[in-house]
Amino acid sequence: MGRGTDRGTRYGRRRARAALAVLTTVTVLGAAGCDAAGGDSPDPSPSASKRARTAPAWDTSPESVAAVGDSITRGFDACAVLSDCPEVSWATGSSAKVDSLAVRLLGKADAAEHSWNYAVTGARMADLTAQVTRAAKRKPELVAVMAGANDACRATTSAMTPVADFRTQFEEAMATLREKLPKAQVYVSSIPDLKRLWSQGRTNALGKQVWKLGLCPSMLGDADSMDAAATLRRNTVRDRVEDYNEVLREVCAKDRRCRTDDGAVHEFRFGTDQLSHWDWFHPSVDGQARLAEIAYRRVTAETP
């Protein structure tokens, strides 16, 4: 019994020492991580996988910009009556008075070579897919979008684009963009408060004469009327714009490389200095500069 016990004790100690040696080796190799298996070996740890999944998708300094949208992005009526003026566009313009989003991001020289404006005056959301398709050929790293005002600016409120159609059209444009530019970033501006633009511009007699040429009749028609029917009409347009902005926010939120202005343009209180001195509705050069400021702050923010 005595010798058997000693042998058993010594055997147990040897097993313990062997197990300790194996444990030590495993621990050292584990601590060495990928270096122990070669520099190119992936880190299999769950935390590394989580870091890869949560790596930020937004680049605050893209190297090229394409703009799509409507008359605002074309600088309509900012330089001359009833004319586009893309050099003062908030998105891609070259004017030092505006300091556009592209110039702020790329510098003036690079912006001239690496920014493009595919917006079209009068365009509605249904036209955005075609614009995105043209812009994608340039392979921009950032696509700036401002569209939807013309969907509300119709001859009558009943002619405004239904919200469901607006959503489908924007989703189609985003799907096309993703198919052609899977890694491009998208900045989506909200639609301005058209009723505020009416309230500011209606104080100018010249502007109201231009409005009679057919500029946004659903909001600007019969500009001085304050009766119940006119008030209802304007409020209906206002509410539809708010619905459109909600669609823009919701659709953009589903794309990790899409960022909206969080309603900043809609909430911006355009004054007469920020409105065209020809039609008192579209942004002036100063108004375009304010839009560029808002866009730049959103694009370069570390978090949305």
From first to last of its 304 residues, the chain has per-residue pLDDT tens of 444 444 444 434 444 444 444 344 333 333 333 333 333 334 444 444 444 445 468 999 999 999 999 999 999 999 999 999 999 999 999 999 999 999 999 999 999 999 999 999 999 999 999 999 999 999 999 999 999 999 999 999 999 999 999 999 999 999 999 999 999 999 999 999 999 999 999 999 988 999 999 999 999 999 999 999 999 999 999 999 999 999 999 999 999 999 999 999 999 999 999 999 999 999 999 999 999 999 999 999 998 7
Domain ranges of the chain: 1-38, 65-300
Q: Exposure pattern of 126-157 as b/e (b: 16+ CB <10 Å)? A: bbbbebbbebbebebbbbbbbbbbbbbbbeeb
Name the burial class of residue 20, with classes exposed (0-12), middle (13-18) and buried (19+) by CB atoms within 10 angstroms of its CB: exposed
Distance, in Å, from the CA atom of 198 to the CA atom of 176, rounded to the nearest integer, reads: 34
CA angle 133, 139, 141 (to 5 degrees): 115
Tell me the whole-structure pTM to 2 decimals: 0.82
Six-digit token string for 221: 């028609």
CATH T-level topology, domain 65-300: Rossmann fold (3.40.50)
